């Protein structure tokens, strides 16, 4: 990866430049809207439905994987930037069954 940055510098780029610059203002970063458009294009190009694999579904998937691996709702809440744990529970779709399974695995 470092070699890629060195090659970028040789072409006149700086390590301070954005890896994904704005299409309209290269001194600024890529907008979230443009990022979403790019992801939609990439997903469509490989034959998947953009509605099923957008930026938000990727965010939810990562949070779900972290939750399933750790069972740590608080960590997921922090990563998602939720102020209320209830929002994280709703976001992940945690139900009573999941909660009971977690509780059974922990002894005090």
Cα 29 to Cα 68, 74, 90: the distances in Å are 33, 30, 32
In degrees, to the nearest 5, what angle opens at C-alpha 87 toward C-alphas 81 and 93?
115
Instruction: Determine the average pLDDT of the residues in 81-104.
Output: 80
| pLDDT given at position 9 | 59
Q: Which residue has the higher pLDDT, 1 or 19?
A: 19
Give alpha helix (H) positions in 30-95.
Answer: 32-45, 55-70, 73-80, 85-92
Q: Look up residue 21 and give its DSSP letter.
A: B
Q: Which residue has the higher pLDDT, 27 or 91?
A: 91
Which residue pairs from 68-75 have beta carbons closer than 8 angstroms and sit at least 24 positions apart in sequence? 71/102, 71/105
How do residues 31-61 score in pLDDT, each as one tens digit?
A: 888 888 988 999 999 999 888 888 878 888 8
pLDDT tier, 25 (very low <50, low <70, confident <90, very high otherwise): confident
| pLDDT given at position 66 | 93
Strand partners, 29: 21
Residues in the chain: 108
Structure tokens at 38: 């790019």
| pLDDT given at position 52 | 84
Cα 6 to Cα 9, 20, 25, 98: the distances in Å are 5, 17, 23, 48
For the chain, percent of residues with pLDDT exceeding 70: 81
pLDDT tier, 1 (very low <50, low <70, confident <90, very high otherwise): very low
């Amino acid at each position: 990866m470092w070699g890629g940055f060195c090659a970028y510098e040789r072409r006149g780029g700086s390590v301070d430049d954005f890896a994904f610059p704005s299409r309209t203002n290269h001194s600024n970063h890529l907008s979230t809207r443009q990022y979403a458009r790019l992801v939609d294009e990439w997903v469509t190009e490989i034959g998947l439905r953009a509605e099923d694999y957008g930026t938000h579904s990727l965010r939810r998937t990562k949070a779900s994987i972290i939750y399933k691996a750790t069972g740590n709702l608080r960590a997921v809440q922090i990563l998602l930037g939720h102020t209320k744990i209830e929002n994280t529970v709703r976001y992940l779709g945690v139900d009573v069954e999941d909660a009971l399974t977690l509780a059974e695995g922990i002894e005090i």
